[in-house]
Structure 1
Amino acid sequence: MPETFWTVRWPDGSEEKLYSPSSVIAEVFKPGLSYPVPDFLQRARIAMERASNRVERKYGFACSSAMDQLDRIEAKVATFIEQPDTEIACLKISQ
């Protein structure tokens, strides 16, 4: 369950390196692909919940870092939600 970092390009052109406690991100996002805002948010929720659940199965407690990252993703996505045709690009996934 290696921690994984993934870089996205937001619709405003800014790039951000995000965190996951698990490589599950690579099951949900693919580098080089872009996702409409609602789809990106749904995928991020699924990925962070799966990552947190993997930590819980291994260590006996949910991963607060995964949920904190999801909170930050949701806050950022909220600034673009009025533009549902806008896309968020997954640039890179690394361990």
Structure 2
Amino acid sequence: MPEMTFEVRWPDGHRTEHYSPSLVMHDFLVEGGAYPVADFVARTHEALDQASERVRARFGFACTSAMHSQQRIAAEAGGFSTGDVTVLRMARREAGS
């Protein structure tokens, strides 16, 4: 199953990298795109739910790493009431790397 990471810049300029067990993130975000914080959280939450369900369908269990990414994104977003999150990079990664 192809995996990916995506790096974002938050409204205050700091950057974080997140993991998805599926390339489904490309259906919700575009590299270089800027999203209001609440929209970014909603998009990534839905994408990571779908990614986790793809893992469940294939392996019989949900992806805890996707859930962890959701939690990290929500925690980061909690510090912002306005501003945009910019997607800096979306990269496929090989499984297990």
Q: What SS does the corresponding residue of 2:85 show, helix, strand or coil? A: strand
Total equivalences in the alignment: 92
Match among 86, 91, 95 for residue 89 of structure 1: 86
CA deviation vs aligned residue, 1:66-94 (integer Å, no higher than 9, x gap): 001100100000111x22xx100011100
Q: Gaps (5+ residues) in structure 2? A: 93-97
| Counterpart Cα distance in 2 of 1:61 and 1:20 | 15
| Counterpart Cα distance in 2 of 1:34 and 1:69 | 19
| Counterpart Cα distance in 1 of 2:71 and 2:21 | 15
CA deviation vs aligned residue, 1:38-92 (integer Å, no higher than 9, x gap): 1101101101100100000000000011001100100000111x22xx1000111
Q: What SS does the corresponding residue of 1:24 show, helix, strand or coil? A: helix
Structure 1 moving runs of 4+ over 2 Å: none
| Counterpart Cα distance in 1 of 2:3 and 2:78 | 26
| Counterpart Cα distance in 1 of 2:38 and 2:70 | 14
TM-score w.r.t. the length of structure 1 is: 0.93
Q: Gaps (5+ residues) in structure 1? A: none
TM-score w.r.t. the length of structure 2 is: 0.91
